[in-house]
A and B are shown apart, each in its own frame.
With several copies, the nearest count.
Chain A
Amino acid sequence: MSIATAINQEATLATAPKLTMIEAINSALRLEMERDERVVMFGEDIGSNGGVFRVTDGLQTRFGPKRVFDTPLAESGIIGTAVGMAVAGLRPIPEIQFAGFSYVAFNQLASQAAHIRLRSGGLYACPMVVRAPYGGGVKTPEMHSESVEGLFMQTPGLKIVIPSSPYDAKGLLAAAVADPDPVIFLENIKMYRSFKQPVPTERYVLPLGQAAVIQEGTDLSVFAYGAMVKVAQDAAKSVHTQTGASIEIIDLRSIVPLDEETIVASVTKTGRAVVVHEAPRMGGLGAELVAIINENCLYSLLKPVLRVTGYDIPYPHAFLEDLYLPTPTRVAQAILDTLED
């Protein structure tokens, strides 16, 4: 949450109920459906089952099967029909049960949802929010842990949002639903129930494209998003304890659009940076960040920016995933290396 928003919300937050990310997203969906008749939701197991993670719990009962419904098991079908619904004036919120299965719908996302505006010369748009759980660390089967933001940032026409807290999730989801273009909204599985946070009952909007400064600092900037924000915080704390270094942590929150101003301002100030993500390193957001830093603050840069990421191998088997994912240990090591003169 940005500082400005924080001040505005302070009063409300004091009395707000504490929610998990699942509950916060459920609340956002409920509010969007209440205020806008055009909003419909569908996917696999989102109806009576309330989603395999219960994110859509109770919504079919509340809004009826016309607006909240299960579909056949076909991701391309889910996204392809959502594209049609968006063109016909609805505001679909399709769910892909796990982000890795977006590969099956890749074409409908990257060449269809993303291209409706282009193909129609702006006569039609494709406002929709594709929700998908993503991320590792919970010992799932194959293709359940993939981070896909690195793919969709290479296929322009799609926005990509990744919240790292219940509060952000609710506000960013409201912005995504209001957005006139397709948004991929990635929900970190490990964070779904990992902690609660005060979340206002009413609707609020956190604009897309604004990073959040989680912790200010002067010696080094750490960039992260989703579950990696917490990993960055743990690492920063341990380094601070060890060395007293003042570490700035920035939660990117939105990959497209990316808040480059905040990134550049931070590194211009600190001169050192580490970027952390779960996705493979090669061509991941970390690479893009280094490129942005290189272009805009090379002369402020005291040390190479280090990338702490998933490795460039297929996502490993459940019991071998722990060291594939960035750990506080690995991030702390990178911070220490980068702090060295």
Chain B
Amino acid sequence: MELATLNNLERTDKPYQILDLEGQLVSDAPTIAPTQLVAMHRWMWLTRMFSDKIVALQRQGRATTFGPLNGQEASAVGIAAPLLTQDWLGGSYREVGSYMVKGIAPRAFIHGLRGYPLNELYSPEAHCLPFQIVIATQMLHIVGIAMAEKIKGSDAIAVGVCGDGASSEGDFNEALNFAGVFKAPAVLVVVNNGWAISVPRRLQSAAPTFAARGVGFGMPGVLVDGNDVLAVYKTMSEAAARARAGDGPTLVECITYRTGAHTTADDPTRYVPREDVEYWKERDPLVRFRRYLFDRQLLDESGEKEMVAGIEAEINEAVQADEAETLPAADAVFDYAFQELTPRLERQRGEMRREIEAIEQQRLERGTH
């Protein structure tokens, strides 16, 4: 059980692996109940199928810009699966999979991705910070949350997740530094998927790994194979345990690959080398984990088919339910500035309502509708 030691949390040279490409054990597997293992596989499928669905909706004008999740499912699930309900999670738009594992319903995302404000479906009990668009800023929020939980004396920890590109922002480094100085119960994760839109990983840092950043901020840095869900799970479990025990933060780098476009607005053929696509195809995280589960008879082909069909139904229902919902009125935008509208904003809301009425009037006059 080499991994259980702190030493292991300092590997910065070679990514830690539990399953090789054939799904064979190369290190000790963590102790996970069989149902949980199958659940992890299902979450990976959910992540991929959800992503494909939103991309399809976006093409039909039924969703806004979306960043596909494909290729990163093992990191997504491995990061979130070991966390407790009270633990906080804060990531970027790419962490939809992790958030679903943590308890946010697919429909909550569908609603948001349709371009509307989050609603109560986005369960606060899941302790997931709404996604961050301004790259890396959430890392500081997560460290602040971890500091708060420590001040409050709770046993919750906080996990921040960002991309390789995000590691270049000042806020990422300040987050590592605050976490180190205040020994915050936090785990900070870089999901290194090789790209920040079109900018390759090598342009983000001259260091061989992002995990190596840890030492300069007084914390261990761990490099893990991000397409090996068991390796990510085990690393996160140990880092979380370390944080929970009051031993401070850990930096984790998951090496994975974004096999799709950056977002629905991106054309990766302009910059992704062909070889990459081939190389990473062989490293598909679902294929690897399926082999592991099949080998152990925890799942079989028909079981997986059923699983996939179930997910498809679940997602479709969520889309239908959300699209059937009455949408917020245009002037709902005034609900999110302050808890109570200021007199000025009351007047401005009136101004908008006047326009809404004018448009309605025009419509009636034109006899349309």
Contact = CB atoms under 8 A, between A and B. Distances in A.
A and B touch in the complex (CB under 8 A): yes
A103 B333 contact: no
Contacts of B351: 311
Contacts of B142: 84
Interface stretch (A6-14, A64-72, A222-230, A270-278): A64-72
B175 to A, nearest CB: 7
Given A67-B151, A84-B148, A312-B348, A142 B342 contact: no
A44 B196 CA distance: 9
A314 B144 contact: no
Interface stretch (B44-52, B118-126, B228-236, B286-294): B118-126
A42 to B, nearest CB: 9
Contacts of B174: 72, 74, 76-77, 80
B356 interface: yes
B358 A117 contact: no
A85 interface: yes
Given A81-B147, A118-B337, A122-B335, 6 more contacts: A44-B199, A45-B198, A49-B270, A72-B178, A84-B158, A180-B339
B342 A73 contact: no
Contacts of A125: 339
A73 B135 contact: yes
Contacts of A108: 137, 140, 171
Interface stretch (A163-171, A195-203, A253-261): A253-261
User: Interface residues of B: mostly helix, strand, loop or mixed?
Assistant: helix
The 8 closest A-B pairs by CB, nearest first: A84-B144, A80-B140, A81-B144, A318-B115, A319-B115, A121-B118, A49-B198, A72-B168
9 contacts: A66-B151, A75-B169, A80-B174, A104-B170, A111-B137, A120-B130, A121-B336, A258-B344, A313-B345
A112 B141 contact: yes
A184 to B, nearest CB: 13
B124 A123 contact: yes
A270 B334 CA distance: 34
A300 B312 CA distance: 67
Given A111-B134, A312-B348, A73 B204 contact: yes
B343 A85 contact: no
B119 A312 contact: no
A6 to B, nearest CB: 23
A323 interface: yes
A209 B344 CA distance: 11
Contacts of B149: 88
A304 B88 CA distance: 51
Contacts of A85: 144-145, 147-148, 151
Contact of A72 (B198, B205, B328): B205
B152 A74 contact: no
Contacts of A144: 133
Given A311-B348, A313-B334, A320-B115, A84 B143 contact: yes
A129 B53 CA distance: 41
B93 to A, nearest CB: 7
Interface of B: 64-65, 88, 93, 114-120, 122, 124, 129-131, 133-137, 139-149, 151-152, 158, 165-166, 168-171, 174-175, 177-178, 181, 196-199, 203-205, 265-266, 270-271, 327-328, 330-340, 342-345, 348, 351-352, 354-356, 358-359, 362
Contact of B203 (A72, A104, A261, A320): A72
Interface in A294-341: 311-314, 316-320, 322-324, 327, 329-330, 333
Contact of A84 (B145, B337, B355): B145
A87 B330 contact: no
Nearest to A208: B342
B357 to A, nearest CB: 11
A124 B343 contact: no
Interface string A264-294: 0000000000000000011000000000000
Contacts of B198: 45, 47-49, 70
A238 to B, nearest CB: 10
B203 A181 contact: no
Contacts of A257: 342-344
A150 interface: no
Nearest to B150: A66
Contacts of B169: 73-75, 104
Interface residues of A, number: 82
A258 B134 CA distance: 29
A44 B170 CA distance: 15
A17 interface: no
Given A73-B199, A80-B175, A101-B134, A117 B147 contact: no
Given A77-B178, A144-B133, A84 B140 contact: yes
- Residue among A72, A111, A256 facing the most chain B CB atoms (10 A cut-off): A72
Interface in A229-270: 256-258, 260-261
Nearest to B198: A49
B334 A311 contact: yes
Interface string A89-121: 110100000001101100110011000011111
Given A73-B204, A89-B148, A90-B152, A80 B141 contact: yes
B336 A112 contact: no
A215 interface: no
A194 interface: no
Contacts of B129: 87, 124
Contact of B358 (A73, A77, A329): A329
Interface string A185-207: 00000000000000000000000
A305 to B, nearest CB: 16
A81 B344 CA distance: 31
B197 A76 contact: no
Nearest to A315: B333
Contacts of A142: 133-134
Contacts of A180: 338-340
B339 A319 contact: no
A45 B144 contact: no
Contacts of B120: 123
